[in-house]
Amino acid sequence: MRYLTIGLLTVVTAIAPGCAKTERPAAETATADVFSFANTTQFVTRHLHLDLDVDFDAQALRGNATLQLERLDGNASRIVLDTRDLDIDTVSFLVDGGMSVDADHALGDRDDTLGAPLTVDVPPDLEGDSLLSLRIDYNTNPESTALMWLPARLTAGGEHPLMFSQSQSIHARSWVPLQDTPAVRITYSATIRTPTDLVAVMSANNDPAAERDGEFTFEMPQPIPSYLLAIAVGNLGFAELGDRTGVYAEPELLEASAWEFADTQAMLESAEAMFGPYQWGRYDILILPPSFPYGGMENPRLSFLTPSLIAGDRSLVAVVAHELAHSWSGNLVTNATWRDIWLNEGWTTYLEYRLMQEIFSVERAEEENVINYEELLDNFERIDPKYQGLAPEADLDDPDYAQGTIQYHKGNLFLQFLERSFGRETFDLFITKYFDAHAFEVITSEQFLDYLDAELLSAYPGKVGRAQAEEWLYEAGLPEGAIIPRATTLERARELAGLWSSGEIVLDRIPMDGWSPHATIHFIDSLDADLPAEKLAEVDAALGLSNTQNAEIARTWFTQVAKRGYRPAYEQLGNYLKRYGRARLIVPIYTALAGNGEDADLAQELFAAARDNYHPQTVSYIESRLAERQ
Ligand code: BES
Ligand code: ZN
């Protein structure tokens, strides 16, 4: 069996023979990015300039990209870039005095995962030049896997269209021809032309006061990997949250967003105190429509967020802590290849946990830690052991499907284990030193291991051996000594769910009013598998589950509804599936429906009715899930 994960989800994709153990890649070869065609050892991009028109009618970006390339290999005369579904118009080199020289170029065959390589020959005239300025005139297509073009009806205001990008993991190439690998860091600038009633924002220096005159310019002076290139255009307003923080959202959502995310500035200050200086200037957040495929995306200076976080009680803001924490782990120190994703996501989940302790409480952080741990156990059961190391040695098919709970939550537990072993004070010094030493670099898991060994394991001998660290990196499951998270509030909720399921207590006796949403989620998840419909109706009515505004509670409830075929809640379940395009919220529900023995057709029907509301990355994920159930 082959099991793959996306975001926080897992899928069995195909039946494949045995799982032969591969050789551990040597540190030098580990940086070769199998998900990019780019010949980055010969040419490397230093800067990108984009000049693009945003055409909502054609659902296309149209204009040009200019890459400043450094030739590392004096003998190399052919540049290979990544593209996917781009129409390439002209390719030329800009030379002194504003002249341009047309270049021979060719687009290779399209691979479903990788797209098509664009090869460009450097003209003989430019043979001696080590710095090249390569301009590509092109347009994107409506099927770009990064871009989503929303008609007005899918926005909060309902009157203006909106578009946004999602470049991670390898989708930047579907809106910009470039070297699409995390191993290359670039600075960028952009001129973006929009309809005059709309605002453009990017993962760059946004100006909240910019006039709506149809043209927006951006600078991103810090070098970033391509998966952090981001753009959104819509009827966006801005509200200040603190002196360095603010929120962009449609005007209809601005007030609720500003209230929900009021802690953002405090999070930023806490993060700086714990992890070292924030290196990116401002930290703003952008609230997108419900079609946004993730909970959050750490686009530098401007995290993109799902509106499903607006629960009205600030209970889901751990996602903001998470995306903010990526400003250190991921954006400042970046995984060299997608196999090293735990350096981004595991580290970030740990920093998120620390921030939640600081901003809210140790108890709340621990509840979230327990929920994550249970998800991890679930993944250990379903995922092939060869993908269970933090830095799996087995080849990955598609980097989007290589991310998963394991890298997030096992990574978090590894760092908690190190913190416990060396003491918080020592470990905190290690954290700031690590980010400082590798700022604006990319690293592999093996480079991390060497650094960890030098700075911590060998510096404080007798606590954790290198072999123990290697076990976390390369072996399946959880190594001995892992700290198992516990939260008494959640244990109590589980116990009460058992007692109520078996009829030993009545619902009125359960003190749910004082519960956190996490405890409610735990309670719903712990209900007996064979609970009769009357009892489901009782708990639904008592807790208002089918109509809850908390998208995470709804996700848990509708997954139970689907598993148990509880029809009275199907209408609301259908509405929920239509409303949200965040894969984490809806995929478990489709999967449960398709797997309950009765509703496979209904799952397909609901998907057909909702798919126009989903981002291409969500669509492809649901398709692969439902295909397994055929
Ligand atoms: N960088 C990820 C989102 C991502 C992962 C996009 C893999 C594409 C491929 C982001 O930081 C993230 O992890 N988001 C989570 C939220 C988090 C609190 C676990 C999500 O979207 O659910
Ligand atoms: Zn993340």
- Give one DSSP letter per residue of 410-467, joined into a string: IHHHHHHHHHHHH-HHHHHHHHHHHHHHTTTEEE-HHHHHHHHIIIIITTSTTSS-HH
Nearest CA to ligand 1 atom 3: 297
> With contact defined as beta carbons under 8 Å apart, do 562 and 593 qualify?
yes
Measured at the alpha carbon of residue 617, what is the angle toward residues 613 and 618, in degrees to the nearest 5? 50
> What is the reported pLDDT for 404?
64
pLDDT band of residue 622 (cuts 50, 70, 90) is very high
pLDDT tens track for 417-460: 999 999 999 999 999 999 999 999 999 999 999 999 999 999 99
pLDDT band of residue 402 (cuts 50, 70, 90) is low
Nearest atom (ligand 1) to Cα of 295: 21
Which ligand lies nearest the alpha carbon of 304? 1
Average pLDDT score, the chain: 93
**How far are the Cα atoms of 152, 202, 327 from residue 407, in angstroms, in the given order?**
37, 28, 18
**Closest Cα partner for 490 from 517, 524, 522, 527?**
522
> What is the reported pLDDT for 56?
98
Nearest CA to ligand 1 atom 1: 297
User: Among 26-30, 255-259, 583-587, which stretch is predicted with the lowest mean pLDDT?
Assistant: 26-30
Does ligand 1 have an atom closer than 6 angstroms to the CB of 346?
no
Does ligand 1 have an atom closer than 6 angstroms to the CB of 584?
yes
Nearest CA to ligand 1 atom 8: 168
Nearest CA to ligand 1 atom 15: 295
Ligand 2 centroid – CA 167 distance (Å): 13
> What is the reported pLDDT for 625?
85
Nearest atom (ligand 1) to Cα of 294: 21
Nearest CA to ligand 1 atom 19: 319
pLDDT band of residue 136 (cuts 50, 70, 90) is very high
| Percentage with pLDDT > 90 across the chain | 90
Site to substitute for ligand 1 among 322, 326, 406, most atoms within 8 A of C-beta = 322
Nearest atom (ligand 1) to Cα of 584: 22
Contact residues for 417 (Cβ-Cβ < 8 A; gap 6+): 464, 472, 481, 482, 483
User: What mean pLDDT do residues 33-58 have?
Assistant: 98
Ligand 1 centroid – CA 295 distance (Å): 6
User: What mean pLDDT do residues 358-365 have?
Assistant: 98
> What is the reported pLDDT for 187?
98
Does ligand 1 have an atom closer than 6 angstroms to the CB of 169?
yes
3-class DSSP string for 270-331: HHHHHHCCCCCCCEEEEECCCCCCCCEECCCCEEEECHHHCCCCCCCCHHHHHHHHCCCECC
> What is the reported pLDDT for 430?
98
pLDDT band of residue 124 (cuts 50, 70, 90) is very high
Nearest atom (ligand 1) to Cα of 293: 21
Cα separation, 503 vs 318, whole angstroms: 35
pLDDT tens track for 473-490: 999 999 999 999 999 999
Does ligand 1 have an atom closer than 6 angstroms to the CB of 322?
yes
Nearest atom (ligand 1) to Cα of 399: 9
State the sign of the Cα–Cα–Cα–Cα dihedral 596, 600, 601, 605: positive
> What is the reported pLDDT for 18?
31
Ligand 2 centroid – CA 7 distance (Å): 9
Is the per-residue pLDDT at 152 higher than 70? yes
In sequence order, the β-bridge partners of residue 118 are: 81, 107
Is the per-residue pLDDT at 24 higher than 70? no
Does ligand 1 have an atom closer than 6 angstroms to the CB of 45?
no
pTM, 2 dp: 0.95
Ligand 2 centroid – CA 419 distance (Å): 20
Q: Which residue has the higher pLDDT, 468 or 28?
A: 468
> What is the reported pLDDT for 395?
86
Per DSSP, the chain holds a count of helices (H) and strands (E) of 19, 23
Ligand 1 centroid – CA 298 distance (Å): 8
> What is the reported pLDDT for 145?
97
In sequence order, the β-bridge partners of residue 384 are: none
Ligand 2 centroid – CA 298 distance (Å): 7
Does ligand 1 have an atom closer than 6 angstroms to the CB of 316?
no
Is the per-residue pLDDT at 286 higher than 50? yes
> What is the reported pLDDT for 28?
38
| Percentage with pLDDT > 70 across the chain | 94
Ligand 2 centroid – CA 295 distance (Å): 9
**Closest Cα partner for 235 from 287, 191, 284, 283?**
287
Cα separation, 288 vs 91, whole angstroms: 34
Ligand 1 centroid – CA 226 distance (Å): 16
> What is the reported pLDDT for 330?
98
Site to substitute for ligand 1 among 164, 229, 297, most atoms within 8 A of C-beta = 297
> What is the reported pLDDT for 556?
97
Binning the chain into helix, strand and coil, the percentages to the nearest 5 are 40, 20, 35
Is the per-residue pLDDT at 21 higher than 50? no
For residue 389 the two structure tokens come to: 């190391």
Nearest CA to ligand 1 atom 17: 319
Nearest atom (ligand 1) to Cα of 403: 7
The set of catalytic residues is 323, 408
Which ligand lies nearest the alpha carbon of 294? 1
Does ligand 1 have an atom closer than 6 angstroms to the CB of 326?
yes
pLDDT band of residue 10 (cuts 50, 70, 90) is very low
Ligand 1 centroid – CA 391 distance (Å): 18
> What is the reported pLDDT for 19?
33
> What is the reported pLDDT for 454?
98
Around 215, how many Cα atoms within 13 Å sit in the side-chain half-sphere? 3
pLDDT tens track for 332-355: 999 999 999 999 999 999 999 999
SS3 94: strand
The kind and range of the H/E element at 47 are strand 43-55
Nearest CA to ligand 1 atom 10: 297
> What is the reported pLDDT for 7?
40
Ligand 2 centroid – CA 321 distance (Å): 10
Residue type for 387, please?
Y
Nearest CA to ligand 1 atom 7: 7
First to last CA, the chain: 16
Does ligand 1 have an atom closer than 6 angstroms to the CB of 295?
yes
Is the per-residue pLDDT at 322 higher than 80? yes
Is the per-residue pLDDT at 628 higher than 80? no
Nearest atom (ligand 1) to Cα of 326: 11
- 302-305, strands of its sheet edge to edge: 237-240, 245-249, 283-287, 302-305, 296-297
pLDDT band of residue 368 (cuts 50, 70, 90) is very high
Nearest atom (ligand 1) to Cα of 352: 18
What radius of gyration do the chain's Cα atoms show?
25
Site to substitute for ligand 1 among 4, 308, 345, most atoms within 8 A of C-beta = 345
SS3 488: helix
Does ligand 1 have an atom closer than 6 angstroms to the CB of 8?
yes
> What is the reported pLDDT for 403?
53
Does ligand 1 have an atom closer than 6 angstroms to the CB of 7?
yes
Is the per-residue pLDDT at 266 higher than 60? yes
Does ligand 1 have an atom closer than 6 angstroms to the CB of 298?
yes
Which ligand lies nearest the alpha carbon of 295? 1
